[in-house]
Every structure is written in structure tokens, then in C-alpha cells.
């Protein structure tokens, strides 16, 4: 850069004092010297433009690298939420199936069947853990800023699923202290009856939990698989 400036100054001087220098140096010598400095100036200018271009290219490359790194971090966070959601969903589905298979005594009418309290107590523990996990996910997702703003229904659907499980836990908390024997009639536990009843008739379980969780899963899968530009 310094040589280009010096060459430009020399070329300017040659042009300004053209007549004087021509008389001193001679016409041919003056032309040769002027041509030399002009070539130096042009070469320096090209070099400056090239350097500026390289700096711009390097800046853009670094910016793209940082954006890609941040996009990878955001994708991993969303994948972690998705994995956790799937795990808790499967936990609840497993507890439901075990409750149906192990906690109910046989009987002619579904609501009049008796619930084995020891099995009910054991199998509600993972449901309680799943509820706490979904509640935490709802709270942390809401605090993640722009990570989930692309789908406004995501957090509300997750909260609906968590609220459904909370109703099961509330019933569990009210049932256990008043149990006077090893069994209790299912009719007195409407939330449990909804959970373990026939799927087509389990309105709250089907809509508030299953459909809500499926909606959140679909939203998270879209966020994970859709290329996004990481925010600055």
C-alpha cells in the first residue's frame, strides 16, 4: 500500500512539473519515468482492490461459519427436546398399557371393575415423572427466546399435554389417602378411567395428550429438518 502511494505521488509530481522535468531529463527519459510510475500506481491499485476483495471474502466465510455453527447448536437443542418428548410419551403409553393389564380386576362392566391399589401406586410413579418432565420442558421452551417462535402452537400444545397428566396426578394424590383397602372401584376415578379406557372413548387422553404430543413432535421435526438461517 505504501509503495502505491509513493508511486502515485511521484507520478503526480512528474505531471505537474512536466515542462521543467522534460527540459532537465529529456523527452524520452521523462516519458519512460512517467510510464514506470503509472504502471506502479496501477499495479498498486489492483493489489489494493485484490486485498480488499480477499478481506471481504474472508469476512463472509467467517460469518457463514459462525451462522452454520449456531444453526447446528440450535438444531441439537431442538433434537434434544424431541428425544425427551418421545421418551416421556412412550413412558406414559407404557404405563397406560401396564395399568390396563395389571391393575384391573376382571369384571362385566368396565367402570365397575376394581383397581388394585398397589399396582396403581407403582405405575403412576413414571406418569408423575413424565408430568414433571413435560412441565419443565414447557417452562424452558418458553424461556428459549426465538428457538420455537416459528410455531406458536408448540408450547401451548405441550402445556395441554402436561396439564392432562397433572389431572391424573391430582386424582392420584386425592385417592391414595382415602383408600381403605387393597382395591377401589374404577368408577370413583374418572381420570384413570379415561386414561385406561378404550382409546376411541378416551376423549381427554386422545385429544389432550396423544394429539397434543403428536402436534409438538411434528413441529419439532419441522424445526429440526427445515434449513434455517441462524439469527444474528
pLDDT digits (tens, 9 = 90+) for 116-152: 999 999 999 999 999 999 999 988 887 765 666 656 7
Provide the pLDDT for residue 150: 56
* Spatial CA neighbour of 225 closest among 79, 77, 70: 79
**pLDDT tens track for 69-109:** 777 777 888 899 999 999 999 999 999 999 999 999 988 89
Take residue 25 and report the three cell numbers written for it. Answer: 531529463
Provide the pLDDT for residue 226: 76
pLDDT at 9 over 90: no
What whole-number distance in Å separates Cα of residue 62 and Cα of residue 69? 10
Give the mean pLDDT of 146-162: 81
Confidence of residue 228 (pLDDT cuts 50, 70, 90): low
Predicted model pTM:
0.71
What whole-number distance in Å separates Cα of residue 197 and Cα of residue 190? 10
Q: What residues does each domain of the chain span?
A: 2-59, 74-225
Q: 181 phi and psi, to 5 degrees?
A: -160, -170
Return the CATH fold of 74-225.
Answer: 1.20.120
Amino acid at each position: 500500500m505504501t509503495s502505491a502511494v509513493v508511486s502515485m505521488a511521484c507520478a503526480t509530481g512528474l505531471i505537474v512539473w512536466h515542462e521543467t522535468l522534460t527540459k532537465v531529463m529529456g523527452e524520452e527519459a521523462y516519458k519512460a519515468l512517467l510510464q514506470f510510475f503509472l504502471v506502479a500506481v496501477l499495479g498498486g491499485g489492483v493489489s489494493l482492490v485484490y486485498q480488499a476483495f480477499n478481506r471481504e471474502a474472508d469476512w463472509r466465510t467467517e460469518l457463514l461459519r459462525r451462522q452454520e455453527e449456531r444453526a447446528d447448536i440450535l438444531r441439537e437443542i431442538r433434537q434434544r427436546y424431541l428425544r425427551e418428548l418421545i421418551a416421556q410419551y412412550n413412558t406414559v403409553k407404557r404405563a397406560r398399557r401396564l395399568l390396563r393389564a395389571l391393575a384391573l380386576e376382571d369384571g362385566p362392566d368396565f367402570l365397575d371393575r376394581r383397581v388394585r391399589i398397589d399396582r396403581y401406586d407403582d405405575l403412576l410413579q413414571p406418569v408423575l415423572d413424565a408430568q414433571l418432565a413435560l412441565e419443565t420442558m414447557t417452562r424452558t421452551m418458553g424461556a428459549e427466546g426465538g428457538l420455537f417462535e416459528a410455531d406458536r402452537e408448540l408450547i401451548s400444545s405441550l402445556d395441554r399435554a402436561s396439564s392432562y397428566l397433572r389431572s391424573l396426578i391430582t386424582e392420584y394424590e386425592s385417592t391414595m389417602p382415602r383408600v381403605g383397602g387393597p382395591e377401589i372401584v374404577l368408577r370413583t376415578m374418572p381420570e384413570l378411567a379415561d386414561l385406561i379406557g378404550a382409546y376411541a372413548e378416551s376423549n381427554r387422553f386422545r385429544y389432550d395428550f396423544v394429539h397434543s404430543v403428536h402436534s409438538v413432535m411434528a413441529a419439532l421435526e419441522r424445526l429440526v429438518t427445515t434449513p434455517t438461517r441462524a439469527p444474528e
